[in-house]
Amino acid sequence: MRRLVVGLDGVAALREASGGPSLAAAAALATVAGARGVRLGITEELLPVTERDLREVAAVAPGLELRMAPIPSLVKAALEARPARVLLSSSPNGAGAALPLDFRAWGSALPPALRTLEEAGLFAAALVSADLGAVKAAHAVGARGIELYTGWVVDLPPAEQSEALAQLADASRLAAKLRLELSLGGGLDEHNVGAVLEAVPIAVSVSVGRGFVNRALLVGIERATRDLREAIGQPR
């Protein structure tokens, strides 16, 4: 069963700029409308997403996910927040776009971070580029799943997307062979997600952040959630 995960970093950025809205309220509305996961990016400074935010969102959204770099202080925050899932990425910028893990840069930090999360009973995945070497590296360090970064694909001119989608498909098949749970995320919205899922139909989870917030600003959080559920084929 495919899961919709909505990213609320854009909501946190709006709150930072204008004093609202509430992350917990946004998470509750999305959850009621059928989102199976709500994702927040956290930084070492715990800004703009704060420890209080984590507690409040966890109370209303059982599918809380944290996106973070594999830094000890953030691992500690994850242990305290007890999210349903953790996504490790290279970017420590909670309000900005997540970046795939650079396994050379984070190599020594990844195994202990993954081991600590695993021992605490938390599901941990890695955000990776659509590269066979990156998929193999995620498997080698002990990640239980991967999220293939799709931002670079959807930003390409249409004439160049077919080759990129084929690369995504190759990476997804390797992930399946290695028994890694497969998710997709990065630059997705209700318009482009269909083509990506045609290339990677085995994805069990789809994360939509900026596209979700942009849609919600026009039609509201509940309608935006329902539209995206329909776009990815998530059952009611």
Which pLDDT value is given to residue 96?
57
Question: What token pair was written down for 69?
Answer: 């770099």
In a domain, 175, yes or no: no
Determine which of 94-103, 138-147, 166-175, 211-220 has the lowest per-residue pLDDT on average.
Answer: 94-103
In a domain, 70, yes or no: yes
Predicted confidence (pLDDT) per residue in 62-103, tens digit: 999 999 999 999 999 999 999 999 999 986 544 456 799 999
User: What are the start-end ranges of the E strands in 30-84?
Assistant: 37-41, 64-68
Cα-to-chain-centroid distance, residue 26: 17
In a domain, 166, yes or no: no
Question: 212-216, long-range: CB within 8 Å, 24+ apart, which pairs?
Answer: 212/6, 212/7, 212/10, 212/30, 213/7, 213/8, 213/10, 213/11, 213/14, 214/10, 214/189, 215/189, 215/190, 216/26
In a domain, 151, yes or no: yes
Return mean pLDDT, the chain: 94
CA dist., res. 197 & res. 195, Å (int): 5
Whether 113 contacts 125, CB under 8 Å: no
Q: 62 preceded by cis ω (within 30°)?
A: no
User: What are the start-end ranges of the E strands in 106-180?
Assistant: 123-128, 145-149
In this prediction, residue 206 has a pLDDT band, given cuts at 50, 70 and 90, of: very high
pTM of the model: 0.95
In a domain, 178, yes or no: no
In a domain, 91, yes or no: yes
Total number of domains in the chain: 1
**Mean per-residue pLDDT for 30-34?**
97
In a domain, 34, yes or no: yes
Question: What token pair was written down for 111?
Answer: 């195994």
Under DSSP, the state recorded for 150 is -
Q: What domain range includes position 39?
A: 3-160+184-232
What CATH number is given to the structural domain containing 142?
Answer: 3.20.20.70
Which pLDDT value is given to residue 235?
76
**Mean per-residue pLDDT for 174-188?**
97
